[in-house]
Amino acid sequence: MNPLFLQIQAGGEAILTEEPTEKTMSILELMTSGGIGGILIMAFLGILSIMAVYIFLERFGAIRNANKVDPNFMNNIKDMVLDG
């Protein structure tokens, strides 16, 4: 038998018996692994996210307040027209 084929077989069995290992990182480790530049970028993104939520809630409240109908609106218009 050719010794090359024996080496291929032995190597194939070794590959099959090894189980792959998965390296896991927490979110905090992932954010800080970028160094000072990565931390600055993440802080900037955090500040922008907080600002976006604030603007969304402020605009939502303003639109909701503007959408309220005044029950005396037509009566006020009628009085203004009659007063001239």
Stretch 14-27: mean pLDDT: 74
**pLDDT tens per residue across span 26-44:** 888 888 888 898 889 999 9
Please tell me which residue, 76 or 28, carries the higher pLDDT value: 76
Domain assignments of the chain as residue spans, ordered by start: 25-83
pLDDT in the model for residue 15: 56
35: left (phi over 0), alpha (psi -120 to 50) or beta: left
Rounded Cα distance, 60 and 33, in Å: 37
Q: What does the chain come to in residues?
A: 84
Stretch 3-18: mean pLDDT: 57
- 3-state helix vs strand vs coil in the chain, percent to 5: 75, 0, 25
Contact 72, 80 (CB under 8 A): no
